[in-house]
Amino acid sequence: MNRLHEFDALRGIAAVAVVFAHLLNYRPATFGDPFAHWSAPLWSFAANGHFAVLIFFAISGFVLSYPYFIGAKVERNLLIDVINRLPRLLIPVFITGILCFILQLIALRASGTEQLAPFAAPQWITRWNVEGWDAARLVEFLLTRVFFLYSETDTFNVNLWTMPVEFAFSLLIFAVGALVLRRYEIAILLVIISAVSIISWRADTTEYFLKALAGSVFFLGMLVAHRWESVRKVIGRLSWMPGVLMIGGLLVSSVLTRHDLHYLIANALGLMSIFYFFIGFASAPWLRPALSHRFFGFLGEVSFALYLIHGSVLYVVFQIIASFTEGAYGTQAFIVGTVISLTLSFALSFVIARYVEMPLVGRVRRAIGNLIRDPKAA
C-alpha cells in the first residue's frame, strides 16, 4: 500500500499548530486578553491547540484502520501491528522525556519559579515545573505510568495527556481490524485490554469524560477510512465542496477556545468541526500535489518529536529570557524567545526523529517481526 503523504503533512501542520498555541502562553502579561476585542476570532484559530490534537487522533484512526478495510493486511500483520504499537509510542516518549527533564531542570536552576509573572498564562506554564522530581522518579514514570495512572497535574510534560488516549483507542481500532479479519476472539481481547487501560486513568469525572470524548475521534478517522473512496468520489464531484467543509470545520472549531460555553457543548461542536474538516481534507484531490512537497514531508517526519519536546523548550527558553530582562519582559523579549525556541524545537525534533527515534523504532519492529515469523521461536 502506498504511503498517504497528505496525512503525514496534516500531522506535521497540526504539530506546528499545537506549538503556536502553546507559544501564545508566553506572550507578555501586559499584552492583555486577545479574546476580548475585535481580533478574537483570529486568536481563536491561533490558540486552538486542542483542535490540532484531535486532528492527530483522527489521523491515527484513519491510518491504523485503512489497510484492513482495503485488504492490504492479514492476521499476521494484525499481531505485529498490535505489538509494535507499544514501542512506536513509548520509544519517542522515553527519548524526548529524558531530554525534556534535563531542559526543565536547567530552567528551574537558572531562574527558579519566580519568573512566571511576566507571562500571560503562568498557571499553564507552572505545570512544566519539575521541582521535587529526580531521575529515579522520571524513569519510573516513563516506564510504568506513561499510558495510565497519572493525571494532567501529575506529569513532567503536560503534552503526555494524549498518550493514554492514543494507547487505549489504538487498541480499539485494531479490534475493528480483527473484526474485519473475522478474528472475534482477538477483537474481544483487545477490547478488554483497552477497557482496563481506560479504567486505570487517574482523572476526575470531567477530565475522564473529555479524554474519552477526544478518543472517540479515532472512530471518526476510522469511519472516513471505511468509506474513503466513496467519500472522495461523491464530494470530489464538486471541486469547491472539500474547501467549504474544511473552512466550515475550522470556523466551528473556534468554540474549543471559548470559556463561556459549557464543556459538553464546546466539545460536541468540536467533534462536529473535526468531522467537517477531516471529511473535506480527505476528499480534496487538489491538496495532494502540494502536500507531497518535501517541506511537508519534513513536518510530518518531526511531528511526534516536536509535539513531545516543544513544551519543555519553550519553558526553558522563556524562563531564562525572563530572568535576564529583570522585570522588563515585553514584546521584543517575546519575539526573541519565539525565534530561539522555535529554532531549537525544530532542530532537536529533527535530530531526535531522524537519528534516534526512527532507527530505534525500526530495529525494534524488525526484531519483533522476525521473532513472530520465526517458527522456532513459536
pLDDT at 36 (0 to 100): 58
Q: What is the mean pLDDT of residues 175-197?
A: 96
Distance (Å, whole) CA 167 – CA 313: 25
Local structure of residue 117 (DSSP, 8 states): T
Other beta carbons within 10 angstroms of residue 219's beta carbon come to 18
Give the residue carrying C-alpha cell 525500526.
Answer: 362
Which residues are bridge partners to 28 per DSSP?
A: 119
Output 282 or 90, whichever has higher pLDDT.
Answer: 90
pLDDT confidence of 378, banded at 50, 70, 90? very low
Which residues are bridge partners to 119 per DSSP?
A: 28
Other beta carbons within 10 angstroms of residue 152's beta carbon come to 15
Render pLDDT for 122-165 as a digit per residue (tens, 0 to 9). Answer: 888 888 889 889 999 999 999 999 998 888 778 999 999 999 99
Local structure of residue 353 (DSSP, 8 states): I
Rounded to 5, what percent of the chain is helix, strand, coil? 80, 0, 20
| SS3 label, residue 147 | coil
CB 249 within 8 A of CB 280: yes
Full domain range(s) for residue 230: 5-86+122-301
Local structure of residue 120 (DSSP, 8 states): S
* 319 Cβ contact partners less than 8 Å away, ≥ 6 residues apart: 107, 110, 111, 115
* 192 Cβ contact partners less than 8 Å away, ≥ 6 residues apart: none
| Full-model pTM | 0.92
pLDDT at 353 (0 to 100): 96
CA angle 367-56-276, nearest 5°?
Answer: 140
Distance (Å, whole) CA 108 – CA 101: 10
Residue 252 lies in a domain: yes
Sign for the pseudo-dihedral over CA of 353, 81, 54, 150: negative
Residue 249 lies in a domain: yes
In this predicted structure, which of 49-63, 189-203, 317-331 has the lowest mean pLDDT? 317-331
Residue 37 lies in a domain: yes
**Cα distances (Å, whole numbers) of residue 365 to 87, 172, 217, 351, 372:** 8, 21, 27, 20, 11
Helix (H) / strand (E) element for 249: namely helix 241-253
Q: Residue 126: what residue type?
A: T
Other beta carbons within 10 angstroms of residue 241's beta carbon come to 16
- Strands (E) located in 58-166: none
Residue 180 lies in a domain: yes
How many domains is the chain built from? 1
* 352 Cβ contact partners less than 8 Å away, ≥ 6 residues apart: 92, 95, 96, 99, 302, 305, 309
Residue 360 lies in a domain: no
Q: 183 — phi, psi (to 5°)? A: -105, 80
CB 33 within 8 A of CB 260: no
pLDDT confidence of 57, banded at 50, 70, 90? very high
Q: Residue 224: what residue type?
A: V
CA angle 220-223-85, nearest 5°?
Answer: 75
And the C-alpha cell for 83?
A: 505489538
Render pLDDT for 68-120 as a digit per residue (tens, 0 to 9). Answer: 999 988 888 898 899 999 999 999 999 999 999 999 999 988 876 666 888 88
